[in-house]
Chains A and B, each alone.
Chain A
Amino acid sequence: MTGSLDFLLLLSVVGVPLAALLAPSVVGRWLLVLLYVVQLVELALLGSGDGARSAVSFSLLGHSVGWQLDALGWFFAMITVAAAGFSAAYAAGEWGTLNARAGLSLRWLYVGLQVNVFAMLVLLAAGDMVALFIGWELTSWAGLLLMLLAGGEAIAAARRYIVYAIAGGMMVLGGLLMTLAAAGSLQFDAVAAAIPTVGTSALWAITLLFVLGFSVKMATMPFHLWQAPAYAFSPAPASAFLGAISARMGLFAIALVAIKLIGIVQLDRLYLYFDALNLRNLLAWVAVFTAILPTFVAMKQNDARLLLGWHGVGQGGYMLLGLVMADSLGSAGGLLHVFNHATYQAILLMAVFAVIHRTGTADLNRLGGLVARMPLSFLAMLIGIIGLAGLPPMNGFVSKWMIYRALILEGQPLLFVATVISTLGTVLSVYKLLHNTFLGQLRLEHETVKEAPWSMTIPMLVLCVVVFVTGVAPGLVLEYVAAAQQALGLAPVAFILGGIDSPAGTLDMIWVTAILLAGFGIGAVLFYLMGGRSRRVHQLDNYAGGHFLTADVRYQYSDNFYAGLMHRIRPWYRGSFAWAEEALVSTFGAIATAARGFFEQANPAHWVLVGTTLITTWVMWHALV
């Protein structure tokens, strides 16, 4: 049996009313999870490199619009459907029941999830640029559906999101139609063939419009402000799903348009004054700053969800950076990071929402010490942060390693250094997350907290296994990454099961992991078998002589966790971007008020006179000159 793209799309369309029908009941929700499994199986049956073409195609306004899933799209589609499945499972049990009781519409939640999956499939399987844009806009608006659900502060975040998203969409539309004007067609082949003949200025415009437009979804700087709150304040499964994959649609589109259609060689035509100031380098620097700045913003956050949201923005920078390197290693690293990020970000958000589910707060200053109460969630978050920080042996390390290697091989030491700065910031930040949530002193009101229900922990733990396995054996994923690279027209990466095999430096994660585990083994032997028996005492029975044990106010070092660092770097980021955004909005508001005043205050008859005179003057002047 082989899969068919039409069947897949049909499945996901049918899923929408099914979701509306089934979502309110527990059994129905599990059936919906099953639906995702079916979609995933169908997708798997399609196969990575087959380029399954949909039988459905339209001729719209003279453009033939069709769908074809190539290896790149397939790679993203697998992640998308899987992320949706895990999110759906997470909410299927107790979470859904309790939140429905609290007033959340599960029907809209599941419908939103399924609509998102459908929209993304439409985008990922786009067979031409019209289909691409249709998918793009659908994806943007579908995301809004999920963001609006939680109400409250989510609404403001969603409004901000949609303004950004429309701005991005309009840039893409402009680019699309400039392409049409330049190439005369919107078919991928025709565009790719026509691009080399396009003039430099037109190519600048087209490329910039596309890249900027897609970047908005990626939330690369300077469009990074919207994403963290928009994703963070969505309901748990929506947040996990959006955080895992939604923003990556921008990466997919950039890869498709900038690398596949326009082509790296053509991009090198675009430079400002010097060869070195070419578009690729500019993009790389934008990507690096996107990796750095949001990471340090994340470090400041006191809301666990926002912290993760900002990291999501930052990690997008890595992916873009790897991609614009456009060599076999870097682009593979970028694409692999998409998968890796999806897995550990989902774990982290699920863990945070598990904590919220039990304690009712995500405020990092109001948590702590939960490791003894919620050990499984702790384990999940630990594995997640190891992945996010990019430490071996989790999968985040592999993709980051590949990007570092690519940067060094491409002779970009500054980019490399900057990237590592971001990683270090990530380490600091995620430790804060873990420490303030699970470590330190347990608060009195959380003494009776229980572990999250199995319906929430199982998806997390399964994902943990995925993170570990793909960390140890990245070759499992790299196979598909290589296929995706080929679909993009890039040289595929030379991979082995354990990692990368190249003359200029090898990575074999199987060895690294084995050694690490062996080291831990030795460490455990040294610790447990030697020396005296240790006595387990109460957490708070520490050197202060039991003082903490009796205190009503627990001593948890959480607020302004990196006080020294913040003291030093605070002057460096005074929220300039937020300030700029605010300034832009208020300037805009002032202009808008002026425009309104034009209609409400000015004498319209006066304007008829002025208009007539000016127009006639223009006409006569035009005629005379």
Chain B
Amino acid sequence: MTTQIGLVFFIAAIGLCVIGIGGIVLSRNLFRMVLALAIAEAGANLLLVLAGYRWDAVAPILSAGQMPAPMVDPVPQAMVLTAIVIGVGVQALALTLVVRVKQRYGTLDMQLARERMNAEIDATADVTPPRSQERPRGERPLPAPAGGAHD
């Protein structure tokens, strides 16, 4: 019984993780990738919290200077707290980048953004791309970077 319930939790945690990873890998939309990342991190955090769970235990808060009952492990909770905040920071930064990419390249499509990035790196380095990677004719040119203040 107990292991089955544990399995459910594990499946939940791993499922979140795998869904998140799959989202990052499969989606082409930058914003969805950030969301997928949040899901994946949630999964990992859930697994971490599970590591500290004890049956029939209470929250690790001392009342009147003593342990009222077996308490769950406080360390994973602290770790998760840290991990969540780290995740928040990373996601916030990712979002700022998404905003900027959207502005500069006018797209949220990873594939397009990457092609344009490679083209830009090549252009900056003054390298002509190999023929097989040349883009078909008639494609729209890169949008000019908006707002010259940052360039």
Residues of A within 8 A of B (CB): 593, 600, 603, 605-606, 609
Main secondary structure of the interface of B (DSSP, over half): helix
7 new A-B contacts at CB < 8 Å, known A593-B130, A600-B133, A603-B25: A600-B118, A605-B24, A605-B25, A606-B25, A609-B21, A609-B22, A609-B25
Residue numbers in B under 8 Å from A593 (CB-CB):
130
Nearest Cβ in chain B — how far from A353, in angstroms?
A: 40
Pairs A-B, 10 closest by C-beta atoms: A605-B25, A606-B25, A605-B24, A609-B25, A609-B21, A600-B118, A603-B25, A593-B130, A609-B22, A600-B133
Measured CA separation A440–B22 after assembly (Å): 80
**Which residue of chain B has its CB nearest to the CB of A609?**
B25
Nearest Cβ in chain B — how far from A589, in angstroms?
A: 11
**Which residue of chain B has its CB nearest to the CB of A596?**
B130
Nearest Cβ in chain B — how far from A616, in angstroms?
A: 12
Report B39-68 CB contacts with A as 1/0, cut-off 8 Å: 000000000000000000000000000000
Nearest Cβ in chain B — how far from A53, in angstroms?
A: 54
Residue numbers in A under 8 Å from B130 (CB-CB):
593
Residue numbers in A under 8 Å from B21 (CB-CB):
609
**Which residue of chain A has its CB nearest to the CB of B21?**
A609
**Which residue of chain A has its CB nearest to the CB of B110?**
A603
Residue numbers in A under 8 Å from B25 (CB-CB):
603, 605-606, 609
B47-91 with Cβ < 8 A to chain A: none
Q: List 9 A-B contacts (CB under 8 A).
A: A593-B130, A600-B118, A600-B133, A605-B24, A605-B25, A606-B25, A609-B21, A609-B22, A609-B25
Measured CA separation A603–B115 after assembly (Å): 12
Residue numbers in A under 8 Å from B22 (CB-CB):
609
B13-42 with Cβ < 8 A to chain A: 21-22, 24-25
Nearest Cβ in chain A — how far from B118, in angstroms?
A: 7
Report B85-107 CB contacts with A as 1/0, cut-off 8 Å: 00000000000000000000000
Measured CA separation A526–B44 after assembly (Å): 106
Residue numbers in B under 8 Å from A605 (CB-CB):
24-25
Nearest Cβ in chain A — how far from B12, in angstroms?
A: 19
Measured CA separation A129–B56 after assembly (Å): 70
Measured CA separation A605–B110 after assembly (Å): 12
**Which residue of chain B has its CB nearest to the CB of A600?**
B118
Nearest Cβ in chain B — how far from A336, in angstroms?
A: 54
Measured CA separation A593–B25 after assembly (Å): 24
Nearest Cβ in chain A — how far from B136, in angstroms?
A: 16
Measured CA separation A605–B21 after assembly (Å): 9
Measured CA separation A593–B22 after assembly (Å): 28
Residue numbers in A under 8 Å from B133 (CB-CB):
600
**Which residue of chain A has its CB nearest to the CB of B36?**
A605
**Which residue of chain A has its CB nearest to the CB of B118?**
A600
